[in-house]
């Protein structure tokens, strides 16, 4: 392990790290928005829209992110919708993550006992108030473990961005290996930066899960 090589590689990895982090988190925010809309659509069984949302979830949960990125990046321009590689990465993560977030929230909404809504309405709440003040907050708490797992999964999936020529962490590692053949150092830096990206999220997620369990069960 050559320390001088590690030091010389650091600026390139730092730049790639920031790019990966920015695209990953923007994609996660998009996935959260898509997931909430899709979950509500299926939970309330809205005519036609619920079927569309269900089809979306099945398609995107059962196709790899790499295939989705290729379709958006190389396929959409043929339809007259050319987008940048960075936007493609955000959209790709958002669409894939939205399908998982949707299922996490929908299952949590269904897990809230019907008696909760009945009790709220018995106290004088409208159906709308019962949902937003009782059912939805409880569902959010129940969905925390699944949402945290999805966030970590999506951040790891950013490793395929190199396929659409984004200078992310994986692209940087492969580029440096191809140029200088310092395989050990390049892969070591790759692992280090992914650990830097994922360990804080995992730790924050574990703390959030403990807080959610305490809120729900007093553990």
Residue 60 in contact with residue 71, Cβ under 8 Å? no
Residue owning tokens 């923007």: 26
29-43 per-position pLDDT tens digit: 999 999 999 999 988
Checking if the pLDDT of 28 tops 80, the result is yes
- pLDDT for the residue numbered 25: 93
Mean pLDDT of 189-216: 84
Give the CATH class of 3-217: mainly alpha
Instruction: Give the start-to-end residue ranges of the domains of the chain.
Output: 3-217
Rg (CA), the chain: 21
What 8-state DSSP symbol labels residue 48? T
Is the pLDDT at 98 greater than 90, yes or no? yes
Find the length of the chain. 219
Of the candidates 2, 12, 3, 8, the one whose C-alpha atom is nearest the C-alpha of residue 170 is: 12
Provide the terminal-to-terminal Cα distance of the chain, rounded to the nearest Å.
Answer: 46
Give yes or no for a contact between 18 and 194, defined as CB atoms under 8 angstroms apart.
no
Has residue 216 got a pLDDT over 70? Answer: no
Query: pLDDT per residue over 55-87, tens digit each?
Result: 999 999 888 888 888 888 888 888 777 788 888
Q: Which pLDDT score, from 0 to 100, does residue 113 have?
A: 83
**Burial of 152 by CB count in 10 Å (0-12 exposed, 13-18 middle, 19+ buried)?**
middle
Looking from the CA of 153 toward its CB, the CA atoms found within 13 Å total: 17
155-165 mean pLDDT: 84
Q: Distance between CA atoms of 77 and 80, rounded to whole angstroms? A: 5
Average pLDDT over residues 163-190: 85
| Interatomic CA distance for residues 158 and 100, integer angstroms | 16
What is the predicted pLDDT for the residue at 217? 55
The residue to which tokens 């309330």 are assigned? 44
């Amino acid at each position: 392990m050559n320390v001088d090589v590690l030091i010389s590689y650091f600026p390139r990895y730092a730049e790639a790290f920031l790019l990966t982090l920015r695209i990953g988190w923007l994609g996660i925010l998009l996935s959260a928005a898509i997931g909430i809309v899709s979950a509500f659509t299926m939970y309330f069984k809205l005519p036609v829209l619920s079927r569309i949302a269900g089809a979306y979830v099945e398609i995107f949960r059962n196709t790899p992110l790499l295939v989705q990125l290729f379709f958006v990046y190389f396929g959409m321009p043929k339809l007259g919708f050319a987008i940048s590689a960075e936007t493609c990465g955000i959209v790709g993560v958002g669409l894939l993550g939205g399908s998982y977030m949707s299922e996490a929230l929908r299952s949590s909404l269904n897990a809230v006992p019907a008696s909760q809504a009945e009790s709220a309405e018995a106290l004088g709440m409208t159906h709308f108030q019962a949902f937003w003040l009782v059912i939805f907050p409880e569902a959010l708490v129940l969905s925390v473990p699944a949402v945290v797992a999805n966030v970590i999964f999506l951040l790891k999936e950013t490793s395929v961005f190199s396929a659409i020529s984004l200078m992310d962490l994986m692209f940087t590692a492969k580029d440096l290996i191809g140029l200088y053949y310092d395989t050990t150092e390049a892969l070591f830096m790759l692992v280090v930066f992914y650990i830097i990206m994922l360990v804080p999220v995992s730790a924050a997620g574990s703390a959030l899960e403990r807080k959610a369990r305490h809120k729900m069960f007093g553990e």
